Amino acid sequence: MPDPFDPGPPIVVFVDGRPVGDLGARGVDAQLLSVIVHSQSEVAEWLASCGVVAEAAPEPRFVHGDVSLDELTIGQLGQRDADARMVWAIAAREGQLGPLTHEQVEAAFPGSAWI
């Protein structure tokens, strides 16, 4: 199971079975966040209330796909649970996400952490 706290091995992000890069890579994380922020989901509203904004529209290859981290299936982007898990993973990998920590994500969306 991928551990976003482990700075060692890269964690590959897959969208619809295609590798798109590594969790923690600025461009990959930005695209995933852009999809989530533009989804108008509960997670998107929470991110906006915390001051997290997307600087650009998401690339088509990221929009509403099934996302996995290595072999761990996260779910469909744009759905609450998958979005919360991705935001938690990004925050955990980076240590924080803007003003947010992974603990704040887990508190707002219980069950988003898998570790």
Q: How many folded domains does the chain comprise?
A: 1
Alpha-carbon Rg for the chain, nearest whole angstrom, is 12
Note whether residue 5 is domain-resident: no
Note whether residue 113 is domain-resident: no
30 pLDDT higher than 90? no
Note whether residue 27 is domain-resident: yes
Note whether residue 38 is domain-resident: yes
Cα 77 to Cα 33: distance, rounded to the nearest angstrom: 10
Q: Which domain holds residue 73?
A: 12-108
When pLDDT is averaged across residues 7-24 and rounded to a whole number, the result is: 92
Note whether residue 1 is domain-resident: no
Cα 71 to Cα 46: distance, rounded to the nearest angstrom: 28
Q: What is the pLDDT of residue 42?
A: 94
Note whether residue 33 is domain-resident: yes
Closest CA to 88 of 70, 106, 73: 106
Q: Convert the pLDDT of each residue in 44-103 to its tens digit.
A: 999 999 988 887 788 877 777 899 999 999 999 889 999 999 999 999 988 778 778 899
Note whether residue 114 is domain-resident: no
Q: What is the pLDDT of residue 115?
A: 67
Q: Convert the pLDDT of each residue in 36-45 to its tens digit.
A: 988 888 999 9
Note whether residue 7 is domain-resident: no
The pTM of the whole model exceeds 0.85: yes
Q: What is the pLDDT of residue 73?
A: 94
